[in-house]
């Protein structure tokens, strides 16, 4: 709901491109700051699920502010507070899921695919709806999502955190390993690359004559392909290993963003770019989370996933989103997505250079 349509809502209430990029960056900003606090609290208390439930409640309450405020600073505050609490859920649920799976972590993608199915339902349904109703109805769709998160956060099964030989190490010792630094740095660049995509892709398509239903369809196509690769992950991991999957994912990201930036008017190439979402998010996310789980075990699981989310999706997404506004306004959309391709290329070069250090074949 948020990634494809929130920028269109902000545009409809007359925010500028730079203001939209700042407001859309609130989620990655909070994903950079908040998860480390929540992860530390979850590991310190041993009550991951209680932390998720409290955060889900606070996020839903804060979200109500979007119904009452349309000014820039008030909207910034509402989105910042909502994202601060919402960002607690993802790394903690990731850690819980991987603990629940035990030795079957290659099957993570099959559980994660349900998030993708929810994404498809929202983007396709809302895409068609917004061809007939005002974009302001998006606020109510967001409220439904927040309430759903609140309800189902109370249904997640409890898991036991098993002792591991790395428990005696500090989190700093693990983070400063060269292979961990290489992985986090490359994934940071991947998140920078995706910043303009999540901020301006819908606006970009609408400005080139695509209907909102077509926009929803293109978003959904990418996620449908993402689901397919999630189900293939056990086979892919078994035959290629996590690091090789990352190398292919980064290569596909370079190609994808060049296609988006230079061939938006060619529907066949745009469709190909969306199919590549299977690699640039689906395979990439499953492989990177799997590697983080290998690096951070025992009492460090929640903090490790939180730190990964903060430094990559958080800091990288924030930089990519904030940079996209001025670049879009002063140099145009083609330069924006060429910038994305360049960031993905930097990540690819880093992973390739450090291949022997980050290589873990599950």
% of the chain beyond a pLDDT of 90 = 23
- Burial degree of 347 (CB within 10 A; 0-12, 13-18, 19+): buried
Residue 254 pLDDT more than 50? Answer: yes
| pTM score above 0.75 | no
183/134 Cα distance (integer angstroms): 43
Residue 56 pLDDT more than 80? Answer: yes
Confidence of residue 90 (pLDDT cuts 50, 70, 90): confident
210/214 Cα distance (integer angstroms): 6
Greatest mean pLDDT among 8-22, 210-224, 251-265 lies in 251-265
Confidence of residue 340 (pLDDT cuts 50, 70, 90): very high
End-to-end CA distance of the chain: 34
- Token pair 């203001």: residue: 19
Q: What is the pLDDT of residues 343-353, one digit of tens each?
A: 999 999 988 88
Residue 264 Cα to chain centre, angstroms: 23
Please give the CATH number for the structural domain made up of 2-152+171-358. 1.20.1250.20
- The whole-number pLDDT of residue 300 equals 67
Q: What is the pLDDT of residues 117-143, one digit of tens each?
A: 888 888 788 878 888 888 889 999 889
CA distance to 98, 129, 151, 196, 201, per residue, from 302 (Å): 10, 38, 22, 28, 32
% of the chain beyond a pLDDT of 70 = 93
Residue 19 pLDDT more than 70? Answer: yes
Confidence of residue 165 (pLDDT cuts 50, 70, 90): very low
- Does 36 or 79 have the greater pLDDT score? 79
Mean pLDDT of the chain: 83
- The whole-number pLDDT of residue 169 equals 62
Lowest mean pLDDT among 96-100, 165-169, 240-244: 165-169
157/343 Cα distance (integer angstroms): 38
């Amino acid at each position: 709901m948020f990634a494809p349509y929130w920028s269109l809502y902000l545009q409809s209430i007359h925010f500028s491109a730079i203001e939209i990029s700042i407001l859309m960056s609130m989620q990655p900003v909070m994903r950079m700051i908040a998860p480390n606090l929540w992860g530390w609290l979850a590991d310190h208390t041993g009550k991951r699920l209680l932390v998720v439930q409290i955060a889900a409640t606070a996020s839903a309450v804060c979200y109500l502010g979007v119904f009452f405020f349309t000014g820039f600073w008030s909207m910034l505050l509402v989105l910042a507070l909502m994202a601060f609490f919402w960002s607690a859920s993802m790394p903690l649920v990731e850690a819980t899921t991987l603990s629940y799976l035990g030795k079957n972590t290659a099957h993570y993608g099959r559980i994660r695919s349900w998030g993708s199915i929810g994404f498809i339902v929202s983007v396709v349904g809302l895409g068609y709806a917004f061809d007939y109703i005002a974009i302001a109805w998006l606020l109510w769709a967001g409220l439904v999502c927040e309430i759903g998160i609140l309800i189902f956060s109370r249904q997640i099964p409890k898991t036991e955190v098993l002792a591991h030989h790395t428990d005696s190490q500090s989190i700093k010792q693990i983070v400063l390993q060269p292979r961990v630094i290489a992985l986090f740095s490359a994934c940071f660049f991947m998140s920078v690359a995706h910043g303009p995509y999540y901020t301006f892709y819908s606006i970009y398509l609408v400005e080139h004559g695509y209907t909102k239903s077509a926009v929803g369809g293109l978003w959904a196509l990418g996620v449908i392909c993402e689901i397919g690769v999630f189900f293939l992950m056990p086979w892919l991991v078994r035959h290629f290993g996590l690091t090789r999957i990352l190398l292919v994912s980064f290569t596909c990201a370079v190609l994808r963003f060049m296609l988006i930036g230079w061939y938006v008017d060619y529907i066949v190439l745009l469709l190909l770019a969306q199919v590549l979402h299977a690699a640039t998010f689906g395979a990439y996310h499953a492989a990177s989370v799997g590697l983080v789980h290998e690096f951070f075990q025992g009492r460090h699981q929640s903090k490790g996933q939180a730190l990964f989310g903060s430094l990559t999706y958080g800091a990288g997404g924030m930089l990519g989103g904030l940079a996209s506004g001025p670049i879009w306004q002063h140099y145009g959309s083609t330069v924006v997505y060429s910038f994305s391709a360049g960031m993905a290329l930097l990540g690819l070069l880093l992973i390739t250079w450090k291949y022997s250090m980050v290589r873990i074949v599950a």
